[in-house]
């Protein structure tokens, strides 16, 4: 990246930090979160009066791209709240202008791909800006559910697995990046994927400093080995699973279910909506559906190089 581009992105960061200091911005779009997962010089942002659009820019095989930051499910644009008394046509027009202005500031790269937050439902201006839109799904467990009601909504097989897990594992509340990463890496390795460790370590440290993270590790009662781990990040009204994984040799039945149940109990006590933020693979979807999660759509935006040439 040229020194001119670097200075431009640093200026975008400064304006972005000022915007976040004066407006409500979701957890994963906070500057400190981006500093942790991208490193302070690893991200930039488009900023207009009405909103912001952070991005993680890097080179893959020597090609400049923008993609999601590590350990971050959503990025994309975020708009400030509009006055409640505005009529719908004015609200739509304001939203269109803000999104188009933000898109015009994004860096010119060979490929751009991000997931927008579920709150962004009007993707039409992004189509006008040259993006391709795809609908994806996350699973959420609503904040208003009592834990007893949540237990009743679990699939019968999950309740059975939880009873087995209570006999087989001990759950430890621990925010330890090394232990959590080892278990998450085991799950990723099984799928042929690799994830960097350093961003997770920085993120865990940042969450711990701010009191906005909690983790659990399930240990086998018989061997004492770590068999499953889950990291949860939370803010005032919402929480989200950042990483979850398990070992695949000698793992007691239901160990990971047991940790999801801990996360559900934590969110129930605090009135938090739990975003499971998982894969759309059929096997993973079955797990989230069995836990009583409800599907919620969000937009994935992509723009290939031909949009610029």
Number of domains in the chain: 2
DSSP string, 225-265: -EEEEEEEEE-SSEEEEEEEEE-SSSPPTTHHHHHHHHHHH
Looking at the structure, tell me whether residues 152 and 111 fall in a common domain: no
Looking at the structure, tell me whether residues 103 and 223 fall in a common domain: no
Any domain includes 304: no
- Model-level pTM? 0.92
For the chain, the C-alpha Rg in angstroms (whole number) is: 20
Task: Report pLDDT for 228.
Answer: 96
Looking at the structure, tell me whether residues 114 and 194 fall in a common domain: no
Any domain includes 305: no
Looking at the structure, tell me whether residues 85 and 197 fall in a common domain: no
Any domain includes 15: yes
Q: Which of 99, 130, 161 represents a domain boundary (last residue)?
A: 130
Looking at the structure, tell me whether residues 84 and 161 fall in a common domain: no
Least confident of 88-97, 107-116, 139-148: 139-148
What is the chain's mean pLDDT, rounded? 91
Task: Report pLDDT for 189.
Answer: 85
Q: Which of 130, 160, 183 represents a domain boundary (last residue)?
A: 130
Q: Which of 130, 148, 163 represents a domain boundary (last residue)?
A: 130
- Asked if pLDDT for residue 139 goes beyond 60, the answer is yes
Looking at the structure, tell me whether residues 169 and 293 fall in a common domain: yes
Looking at the structure, tell me whether residues 165 and 112 fall in a common domain: no
Task: Report pLDDT for 83.
Answer: 87
Least confident of 7-21, 76-90, 145-159, 274-288: 7-21
Range of the structural domain that residue 263 is part of: 140-297
Task: Report pLDDT for 8.
Answer: 54
Task: Report pLDDT for 307.
Answer: 46
pLDDT in tens, 193-244: 889 999 999 999 999 999 999 999 999 999 999 999 999 999 999 999 999 9
Tell how strand 238-246 and strand 273-275 pair up.
Answer: parallel
Looking at the structure, tell me whether residues 123 and 146 fall in a common domain: no
Any domain includes 268: yes
Q: What is the domain-level CATH number for residue 155?
A: 3.40.630.30
Looking at the structure, tell me whether residues 247 and 274 fall in a common domain: yes
pLDDT in tens, 142-170: 987 788 889 999 999 999 999 999 999 99
Looking at the structure, tell me whether residues 223 and 288 fall in a common domain: yes
Tell how strand 63-67 and strand 111-115 pair up.
Answer: parallel
pLDDT in tens, 260-308: 999 999 999 999 999 998 778 898 899 999 999 999 999 999 998 654 4
Task: Report pLDDT for 7.
Answer: 43
Task: Report pLDDT for 10.
Answer: 61
Looking at the structure, tell me whether residues 228 and 253 fall in a common domain: yes
Task: Report pLDDT for 281.
Answer: 87
Any domain includes 307: no
Looking at the structure, tell me whether residues 154 and 276 fall in a common domain: yes
């Amino acid at each position: 990246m040229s020194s001119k581009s670097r200075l431009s992105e640093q200026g975008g960061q400064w304006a972005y930090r000022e915007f976040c200091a004066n407006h409500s911005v979701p957890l994963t779009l906070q500057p400190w979160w981006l500093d942790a997962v991208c490193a302070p010089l690893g991200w930039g942002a488009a900023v207009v009066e009405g909103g912001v659009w952070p991005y993680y820019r890097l080179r893959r095989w020597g090609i400049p791209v923008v993609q999601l930051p590590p350990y971050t499910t959503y990025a994309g644009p975020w708009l400030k709240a509009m006055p409640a008394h505005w009529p719908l046509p004015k609200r739509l027009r304001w939203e269109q202008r803000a999104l188009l202005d933000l898109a015009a500031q994004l860096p010119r790269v060979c490929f751009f791909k991000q997931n927008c937050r579920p709150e962004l439902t009007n993707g039409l201006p992004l189509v006008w800006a040259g993006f391709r839109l795809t609908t994806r799904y996350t699973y959420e467990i609503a904040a208003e559910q009592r834990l007893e009601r949540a237990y009743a909504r679990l699939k019968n097989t999950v309740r059975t697995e939880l009873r087995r897990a209570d006999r087989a594992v001990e759950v430890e509340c621990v925010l330890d990046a090394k232990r959590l990463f080892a278990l998450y890496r085991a799950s990723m390795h099984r799928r042929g994927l690799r994830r960097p460790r350093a961003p997770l370590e920085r993120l865990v440290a940042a969450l711990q400093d701010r009191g906005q993270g909690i983790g659990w590790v399930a240990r086998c009662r018989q061997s004492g080995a770590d068999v499953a781990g889950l990291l949860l990040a939370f803010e005032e009204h919402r929480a989200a699973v950042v990483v979850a994984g398990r070992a695949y040799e000698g793992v007691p039945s239901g160990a990971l279910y047991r940790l999801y149940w801990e996360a559900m109990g934590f969110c129930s006590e605090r009135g938090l909506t739990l975003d499971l933020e998982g894969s759309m693979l059929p096997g993973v979807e079955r797990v989230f559906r069995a836990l009583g999660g409800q599907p919620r759509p969000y937009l994935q935006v992509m723009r290939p190089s031909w949009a610029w040439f």
